[in-house]
Structure 1
Amino acid sequence: MQEEITKHTEKIYKTMKNKKHTLGEKAKEIIIEIFIIVFAVTLSIWLHSWSEHRHQQEEVSVFLGNLKNDLKDDIESIDVEKKAYQKSNIGYEKILALTTLQLDSIYKSKNTVNFPIYSHGPKMNIANYEGFKSSGKIGYIEDEKLKQKILNYYQIFVPAINEVDKYYNDFLFKCFDKMIENADKPEEKLYSDPKFKKTIEFLVKLGKNNIRVYEQNTKPRANELIKEIEKEMNK
């Protein structure tokens, strides 16, 4: 392109120096050469922009494909974690239902109470999103509605899961602390202790709340986002 511009610029210079042509002929030739230069530059800029835009949209397509797979994995992780919460809650509710007489009977028969130990929290896939966002490429997504849904999912709904799981695990560790504090006492006394039972009650409530967050907030958003991505990729 630089060579073409140089060539036509030289033609303009030679035309201006040409004593055989009239002023009108020179003006006509110069205008033609200038038009050719402007057209060539404009075409070059357009082709470069088109090529760059095409490359950007190819990157978006790859990103959306990877994101779709991440979202499917997120949904599977959420389902697994939901079942784990339900299983833990059943175990805690059994403990809460035990009477003093039942506890005495369990320990007299040399049995123990099974306390579910499960630190909850699904592994959400954020690497592809974070990499694309940190490289400043989120703006390449031209569908504004889709872009906003992606941002909302990773900036609102994924952090919400992490937050509710953190609250749950904090209460779980309070139970562990109570167990350690009462390690020198008969275990049946611990399970009949009102403060310990109240902590377990909150643990069950938090577990149910977290299942609700999974089912009513994050999982529907992930499914909705998958549909939007599929619609965009099929355009």
Structure 2
Amino acid sequence: MQEEITKHSEKIYKTVKNSEHTLGEKVKEIIIEIFIIVFAVTLSIGLHSWSEHKHQQDEVAVFLGNLKNDLKSDIKNIDIEKEAYKKSNIGYENILALTTLQLDSIYKSKDKVDFPIYSHGQMISVGNYEGFKSSGKIGYIEDEKLKQKILSYYQIYVPAINEVDKMYNDFLFKCFDKMIENADKSEEKLYSDPKFKKTIEFLVKLGNNNIRVYDQNTKPEAIELIKAIEKELNK
């Protein structure tokens, strides 16, 4: 492009210096050369912009494809975590239902009370989202509604489930602390301790709450986001 501009600029210079042409002819030739330069520059800018835009949209398509796979994995993991909460809650409710006589019978027969242990951790894939966002490319997504759905999912719904899982784990570790504090006492006394039972009750309530958060908030948003991504990719 630089060579073309230089070539036509030299033609304009030669035209100006050409004593054989009249002023009218010089003006006409100069206008033609200027038009050629302007057209070439405009075309070059347009082609560059088109190429850059296509490259950006190709990156968006790859990102959305990866995000769709992440979301499908998220939904599977949410279902796994839900079942783990349900299973743990059944175990805790069985403990809460034990009477003093039942506890006596269990320990006299040398059995143990089964205390469910399932610590809930990070289960949402955020690598692709964080990488695309940190590189400043989220703005490449031209569909504003889709962009807002993505941002809402990762900035509102994902932190929400991380927070409720953390609260659950905190109460679970309180149970562990209580077990350690009463390590020199019989488990029978521990499981009949009102404070310990109250902690387990809260654990069950938190488990049910987290199942609700998964079912009514995060999972539906993931499903809707997949649909929005598929619609964008199929355009």
Asked if structure 2 preserves the Cα contact closer than 8 Å seen for 1:77 and 1:122, the reply is no
Paired amino acid for 1:119: S
Give, in whole Å, the separation in 2 of the partners of 1:148 and 1:117. 38
Q: Secondary structure at the match of 1:224?
A: helix
Pairs aligned (count): 235
Give, in whole Å, the separation in 2 of the partners of 1:15 and 1:111. 107
The equivalent of 1:113 in structure 2 is: 113
Q: Secondary structure at the match of 1:6?
A: helix
Give, in whole Å, the separation in 1 of the partners of 2:201 and 2:47. 66
The alignment yields a C-alpha RMSD, in angstroms, of 0.5
User: Which aligned segments of 4 or more residues in structure 1 are displaced greater than 2 angstroms?
Assistant: none
CA deviation vs aligned residue, 1:87-111 (integer Å, no higher than 9, x gap): 0000000000000111011101111
CA deviation vs aligned residue, 1:138-167 (integer Å, no higher than 9, x gap): 000000000000000000000101000000
Give, in whole Å, the separation in 1 of the partners of 2:174 and 2:185. 17
The equivalent of 1:146 in structure 2 is: 146
Q: Secondary structure at the match of 1:130?
A: helix
Give, in whole Å, the separation in 2 of the partners of 1:3 and 1:120. 64
The equivalent of 1:35 in structure 2 is: 35
Paired amino acid for 2:43: L
The equivalent of 2:80 in structure 1 is: 80
The offset of 1:123, in angstroms, is: 1.4
The offset of 1:62, in angstroms, is: 0.4
CA deviation vs aligned residue, 1:160-217 (integer Å, no higher than 9, x gap): 0100000000000000000000000011000000000000000000000000000000
Give, in whole Å, the separation in 2 of the partners of 1:200 and 1:116. 11
Give, in whole Å, the separation in 2 of the partners of 1:115 and 1:149. 40
Q: Percent identity?
A: 85
Residue 165 in 1 paired to residue 165 in 2?
yes
State TM-score, norm by structure 2: 0.99
Give, in whole Å, the separation in 1 of the partners of 2:136 and 2:203. 41
Paired amino acid for 2:96: L
Paired amino acid for 2:200: I
Paired amino acid for 1:84: A
Paired amino acid for 1:56: Q
The equivalent of 1:47 in structure 2 is: 47
Q: Secondary structure at the match of 2:142?
A: coil
Residue 191 in 1 paired to residue 191 in 2?
yes
Give, in whole Å, the separation in 2 of the partners of 1:221 and 1:200. 30
Paired amino acid for 2:7: K
Give, in whole Å, the separation in 2 of the partners of 1:3 and 1:22. 28
The equivalent of 1:3 in structure 2 is: 3
The offset of 1:121, in angstroms, is: 3.0
Give, in whole Å, the separation in 2 of the partners of 1:116 and 1:100. 20
Give, in whole Å, the separation in 1 of the partners of 2:168 and 2:86. 13
Give, in whole Å, the separation in 2 of the partners of 1:83 and 1:23. 89
| Range moving further from structure 2, 118-127 or 56-65 | 118-127
The offset of 1:122, in angstroms, is: 4.8
Give, in whole Å, the separation in 2 of the partners of 1:59 and 1:175. 48
State TM-score, norm by structure 1: 0.99
The equivalent of 1:98 in structure 2 is: 98
Q: Secondary structure at the match of 1:21?
A: coil
Q: Extract unaligned runs of 5+ from structure 1.
A: none
Asked if structure 2 preserves the Cα contact closer than 8 Å seen for 1:172 and 1:203, the reply is yes
CA deviation vs aligned residue, 1:12-36 (integer Å, no higher than 9, x gap): 0000000011111101100110010
The equivalent of 2:23 in structure 1 is: 23
